[in-house]
Structure 1
Amino acid sequence: MSLFSFQGKIWTAARSAAGMPLAFTWLGNAPQLQLQINTTSTDKNESFSGNRLQIGRLAGAKTVNVNMTLDEWTRHNIAMAFYAKQVSVAGATVTGEELPMPLAVGDVIRLGQRFVSSLVLDNDGTPLVLNTDYRIESEAAGLVEFLTAQAAQIDADYSYGNAVSMAMFSEQPKERWLLFDGINTENGERTVFELYRTIFNPPGDLNMITDEYGNLPLSGSALVDVAKLTDSVLGGFGRFVEEAA
């Protein structure tokens, strides 16, 4: 008897032009990794006995789908989930950024950059007073609330820090080599599982505000690697590998 209860690390890698994995990235803590393996078939019944008995079954399509839940909010996981390209934004300074006018008491405006500091607001050469004329609602989001009404043009001078921008759907979905380095907690034995061409879908639902720990649910499909179909060791979709006695 060999009971099993797996834990382990999930890794993904981009594929080279030759169809082999490049550098792997660990996806972090993942409480779920599920395979959905399906086949279709066409049945044939006879038409000579009067009982329409089944005499054949023609094998059809074979599919492998993957469902997993990621606990860690990392740039790699975000980019993979939302087909986003990571673009570095170098910190710098801004001088004379014109704010939308006019401004009433309670208006909240957004500066042109995020993660701002050293903000100075200027009314035709006269600086506005922090926490009297305005307050900084969020340096991270670049939000400023006005405490006094302003009719003349207000300009902003400030600095902003380095950042990484990840625009949703800025890249086409990528094929990834998926590797599960698993351990059977029942007996300590190791199992390695691989899928060669996996494409993940964006998460259908993502709870951005929750009273519990958040997670990133992902599902995807494994495509056949035609170059490996005739390899009895690799197979076309993927494989399980266990250490021999």
Structure 2
Amino acid sequence: MSDLFSFQGKIYLGTRSAQGKLVKSIWVGNAPACSVQFQTETTNKTESFSGNRLPYGRLRRGKTANITLSLDEWILENLILGLHGKSVPVTAGSATGEVLPTGIVAGDLVRLDKGFVSSVVITDSAGTPAPVPHTVESPNAGLIRLGSLTGVTPPFSAAYSYAAAQSLSIFAETPPERWLYLDGINTENNRPVLLDLYRVSFDPVGDLGLIHDEYGQLSMTGSVLYDPANANGSNMHGFGNVQWQDQ
């Protein structure tokens, strides 16, 4: 049987306990690419006695590892990681008396405070409030366009209902370090392969495409860190571990 390799599998990211144990993990969804780049920091010594200045020594001063991970799924956990965000979900509800900006005129686009709106009513400030002509340009964005304002009294106010939604504040907090593991298979010989990295610190996503013709993707980078809490096991050594079945 061939010993060549081509891996596929599921990538999981987990949180860590204070004791360095894997506590809770989630599957990140389809991850078409994941790789670890290992490097050694060295200082080279050149001899000075032969007249040829030849290599004479190499001092290894440190080892580092960086990770790249491509995520295809637009899911909350991935976005929290990629945008260093904080989840602030919106509960369905209704708004009343939301005052629109002053100085707006007929034809202006006005965005409401909430998105995913329905049953929008705009009224004026007369003693007996009168309806203000408008059209809903985009219920998702909460965007309305004002009609004729003849005979109505500013300022105007809005009442509407809005749906529940996921919401994420960008750069609201730094996500904790993650335990990354691959539950994979070598497609060349169908042997299972497992890989664990105990401490991974991810940077924010480098490029978040907003308009594109192809599928979008979150391209993540990060550093793999030494984990003293997992340095004492016979097969752990504080950094990571890879296992596979011999068959």
TM-score by length of structure 1 reads 0.93
What's the secondary structure of 1:78's corresponding residue? helix
> Is contact 1:110–1:144 with CA below 8 Å preserved after alignment?
yes
Q: Pairwise mapping of residues 63-102 of structure 1 onto structure 2 (< 5 A)? A: 63-102=64-103
User: What is the deviation of 1:56?
Assistant: 1.9
Check whether the contact 1:42–1:60 (CA below 8 A) recurs between aligned residues.
yes
Aligned position for 2:130: 126
Q: Pick from 195, 209, 231 the counterpart of residue 233 of structure 2.
A: 231
CA contact (8 A) 2:89 2:167 kept: yes
- In structure 1, distance between residues paired with 2:11 and 2:153: 57
Residue segments in structure 2 that go unaligned for 5+ positions in a row: none
Alignment partners' CA distance in 1, 2:48 and 2:234: 39
Matched position secondary structure for 1:11: strand
Identity %: 44
RMSD: 1.5
The one-letter amino acid paired with 1:134 is: H
Deviation of 1:143 after TM superposition, in Å, equals 0.9
**Structure 2 counterpart of 1:184:** 186
In structure 2, C-alpha distance between the alignment counterparts of 1:214 and 1:102, rounded to whole Å: 40
SS at 1:89 equivalent: coil
- 1:32-82 superposed Cα distances (whole Å, 9 cap, x missing partner): 111111111112222222222323211121111111111111111111101
Shift of 1:151: 5.5
Partner of 1:29: 30
Distance 1:99 1:4 in 2: 62
Distance 2:143 2:189 in 1: 55
Task: Report the equivalent of 1:19.
Answer: 20
Within 5 Å, give how 1:30-179 maps onto structure 2.
Answer: 30-123=31-124, 124=126, 125-128=129-132, 133-149=133-149, 152-179=154-181
Instruction: Rate the CA distance shift 1:168–1:63 in 2: closer, same or farther, 3 A.
Output: same
Q: Which has the larger share of strand?
A: 1
Distance 1:51 1:171 in 2: 56
Distance 2:153 2:8 in 1: 62
SS where residue 117 of structure 1 aligns? strand
1:102–1:151 contact (8 Å) kept in structure 2: no
The code of the aligned residue for 1:8 comes to G
1:165-199 deviations in whole A, cap 9, x for unaligned? 21111112320000111111111011111111101
User: Which of structure 1's runs of 4+ aligned residues deviate more than 4 A?
Assistant: none
Cross-structure match for 1:5: 6
Number of residue pairs the alignment of both structures matches: 241
The aligned amino acid for 2:99 is: E
d(CA) in 2 for partners of 1:244, 1:108: 66
CA contact (8 A) 1:117 1:160 kept: yes
Q: How many angstroms apart in 1 are the aligned matches of 2:130 and 2:58? A: 85
Q: CA deviation at 1:159?
A: 1.3
Q: Residue 230 of structure 1: CA displacement? A: 4.0
Give the Cα–Cα distance (whole angstroms) in 2 for the partners of residues 46 and 230 of structure 1: 39
Q: Which amino acid aligns with 1:98?
A: V
Shift of 1:244: 4.2
Structure 1 contact 103–151 (Cα < 8 Å) conserved: no
Counterpart Cα distance in 2 of 1:88 and 1:212: 28
Deviation at 1:94, TM superposition (A): 1.2
Could you tell me which amino acid in structure 2 is paired with residue 79 of structure 1?
A: I
Q: What residue ranges of structure 1 are gaps of 5+ in the alignment?
A: none
**Distance in 2 between the 1:151 and 1:89 partners?**
32
Conserved in 2, the CA contact under 8 Å of 1:101 and 1:151?
Answer: no
Which AA in structure 2 matches 1:72? E
